[in-house]
Amino acid sequence: MTGRSELRVHRVAKGDSARPLRHALASFMKAAQVDEDTIDDIVTAVGEALANAIEHAYDDGRDGRIELYVRLAEPGLAEVQVCDEGTFIQREDRQGRGFGLRIVRSIARSVSIDTSGGTTVHMIFNAPRTEPAA
């Protein structure tokens, strides 16, 4: 892949929705020749954002969608967004829970969250590319 590469995938927000989205992300990054260790870190962080959207966005019982958007535009950087159309709820701390965003923030170069009209978690990751084998 050269130049600007993008991936956009929509799924219904159900318990098993995160796995195929993580797989699509990993496959996309691998095709773009992003370093394998970096792919693992990015998939871990994005998986946490996906799990939060699946678990919390649609607490009112309605079916909803989640979207994964990935863009590799600048050398060595990946921009990732996890979006839902649900309602953001600030939760109280619960013992043994609430580590998802901490994990995301520890891996990503930057993280921002927009809660106007659903929730969008916008993440920027360092994504060094490997040199193609000769």
pLDDT at 93 over 60: no
Number of domains in the chain: 1
Whichever domain contains 115, its CATH number is 3.30.565.10
* pTM summary value: 0.85
Q: 3-state SS string over the chain?
A: CCCCEEEEEEEECCCCCHHHHHHHHHHHHHHCCECHHHHHHHHHHHHHHHHHHHHHCCCCCCCCEEEEEEEECCCCEEEEEEEECCCCCCCCCCCCCCCHHHHHHHHCCEEEEECCCCEEEEEEEECCECCCCC
Q: Is 30 within a domain?
A: yes
Question: Is 37 inside any structural domain?
Answer: yes
In a domain, 60, yes or no: yes
The residue segments making up the domain with residue 29 are 5-126
Write the pLDDT tens digit of every residue in 63-90: 789 999 999 978 899 999 999 998 766 5
